[in-house]
Structure 1
Amino acid sequence: MPQMTVGLAMTLLIIGNVIAVFSDALIKTLSDDAAVYQFVFFRQLTAVLLLIPFCLTSSRKSLVNGLKWHAVRGHIWLLGAVFMVYSINAMPLATANAIFYAAPLIMLPMAMLWFQEKLTVPSITAGVLGFIGVLIVIRPTEIDWAAMAALVVAFTLAANNLLIRKLPKHQTVFQTLLLTNVVGMPASLGLAVWEGKPWDFAPLLTAAGSTLFILIYAGFCVVAYRSGEASKIASAEYSGLIGAVVVGLIWFDEIPDIGMAIGTAFIILPLLWLAKVEAKNKRIAKQAHHKPLATETAADTVGVTA
């Protein structure tokens, strides 16, 4: 896949995160006594059914490649999906999403430790300011189980996005998403059976809708993180908070306050600044690369003339 610009990669993440909010909103419509593990299994089942038509022409060999890393990501994704259902149903939509968006900040040290990425001052600054914005939105007075569940989701999102680099480059986005869900299905089915609740297929349609939105988000993540350095684009994940505020207001009557507005400003403005800085650095590097070539050409011309 060709290297894309930082600005384009961040744009894809922004669009993906806004779309993902609708997946969270559908999860929030579940009843309090819904079988969580059944719902998670239904999400994976519907994901596989949606993705199979796009992978029918794939060779068996191409699907088997990198299966170890697909298995790791699939089970991390499953863990995050379970804790996501718990946290979204126990907290306001915007608050839960604000904690989820700790993921980009978590990705910065992870990228440095796992892939030896160099953290630039702009990327660190944008990440820290974004996390300050998250704290302003949450205004945590105490840490309860729902907040801890949301924090687990943030860690799973960060790990999953970074592990995309371990996947085979030749696999398509559809193949990647299919394998991520397929390898996790045995575990999710086992959890659903262990849960011991009667099977209820009423939430199946909700699961299908939630799956469709989250697959679009995951696909955008695969494209963006496979093409750009995680430490430079991860802060764009914060942008979905605006979508969570809007959807929470319209769908669930969750009225944001001045703290939400201030926190959102801390999240979005550094993103715009980071994109501008990275674009400027790229122009400077490109000019520096071409300048010696121009100098050498001029010197060669003088030598030939002499």
Structure 2
Amino acid sequence: MSNKSVGYAMMLLILGNIIAVFSDALIKTLDDGVPVFQFVFFRQLSAVCIVLPFCLKSSRAELTAGLKWHALRAHIWLVGAIFMVFAINAMPLATANAIFYAAPLIMLPLAAFFYREQLTKYSVLTGVIGFIGVLVVIRPTHIDWAAIAALVVALTLAGNNLLIRKLPTTQSVPQTLLLTNLVGMPASLGLALWEGQTWQWEPLLTATGSSLFILIYAATCVVAYRSAESNKIASAEYSGLLGAVVVGVIWFGEMPEIEMLIGAALIIVPLIWLAKIEQANKQKQALAAASVSRDDN
């Protein structure tokens, strides 16, 4: 685990999630008739083309290290990308993102189970309040296929972020992003061929823009989750909801209701509170370590 601060990791996640909103917005501009599997394949293809120049000097050993974990992440990422297209095009941008942000809450028990991370009462409380905020935003009266698709996306996001810990730390961020997309391309190409639609090249530019934004998000996740324990920073994933609200208003004319504002407050305020608590705890630990060092001398 890196020595970088929890605050640094949380800031990275906040930045990454806001940038990821623009990837979602581009997806929402797609015409209804665009073949979904083709579009997902175009996203992976463009992502590989973007990242490949940064990996040309990589050795074979670097690109094959931890390949089984890359393969697992790649196919989880592929499933999430497919369901994301369905969810974003079936509901308002902010509502879809609100459900996506169930991922940090999903990560808390998964991190405790798989990595034996200790859940602090503060991180649990922040996750619970944040999820209540998500429920306030979406006001679920029934679960339809779009909501289920969005929940699948949340589950894949949680799984991908947790699996970052399994990846070799010697690999650079571009190498990680390259493998995540490259290893999943055979499956996405197979799905595109199985889809049986005439190839439509017009969405390629949209797919490239979406890939660029989501690559930046994925890079921030790799750095952040290598820098701090998942349960201490996962709630920062909620921050992109505000970006989704703003982009939804400006780009698609989706005016937020009062419930959206209340829910957003329930999501963001606990984040600030958690960051302050973690910073205070770190300062206390530093002072305690300094005191012990003086006593030993």
What band does the TM-score fall into relative to the shorter chain?
A: over 0.9
Name the residue aligned to 1:26: 26
| SS of residue matched to 1:58 | coil
Aligned partners of 1:265 and 1:4: how far apart in 2? 28
| SS of residue matched to 2:3 | coil
Decide whether the 8 Å contact of 2:76 with 2:160 is kept in 1: yes
Instruction: Tell me the alpha carbon deviations over residues 105-127 of structure 1, each in whole angstroms, 9 at most, x when there is no partner.
Output: 00000100110000001100110
Aligned partners of 2:216 and 2:292: how far apart in 1? 44
Match runs of 1:144-163 below 5 Å: 144-163=144-163
Aligned partners of 1:183 and 1:114: how far apart in 2? 24
1:3 pairs with 2:17: no
Name the residue aligned to 1:123: 123
Aligned partners of 1:188 and 1:115: how far apart in 2? 30
- CA-CA distance at 1:215 after TM superposition: 0.2
Aligned partners of 1:149 and 1:240: how far apart in 2? 19
Decide whether the 8 Å contact of 2:77 with 2:156 is kept in 1: yes
Letter paired with 1:260: M
Name the residue aligned to 1:295: 295
Name the residue aligned to 2:284: 284
- CA-CA distance at 1:257 after TM superposition: 1.0
Aligned partners of 2:2 and 2:131: how far apart in 1? 31
Identity %: 69
Letter paired with 1:268: I
Number of equivalenced pairs = 297
Name the residue aligned to 1:112: 112
Name the residue aligned to 2:45: 45
Larger Rg: 1 or 2? 1
Unaligned stretches of 5+ residues in structure 1: 298-306
**Runs of 4+ residues over 3 Å off in structure 1:** none
Greater shift, 283-292 or 108-117, is seen at 283-292
Name the residue aligned to 2:77: 77
Name the residue aligned to 1:220: 220
Match runs of 1:170-249 below 5 Å: 170-249=170-249
Letter paired with 1:167: L
- CA-CA distance at 1:289 after TM superposition: 1.3
1:95 pairs with 2:95: yes
1:272 pairs with 2:275: no
Name the residue aligned to 1:54: 54
- CA-CA distance at 1:290 after TM superposition: 1.6
Instruction: Tell me the alpha carbon deviations over residues 229-267 of structure 1, each in whole angstroms, 9 at most, x when there is no partner.
Output: 000000000000000000000000000011111001000
**Cα RMSD (Å):** 0.7
- CA-CA distance at 1:287 after TM superposition: 1.1
Unaligned stretches of 5+ residues in structure 2: none
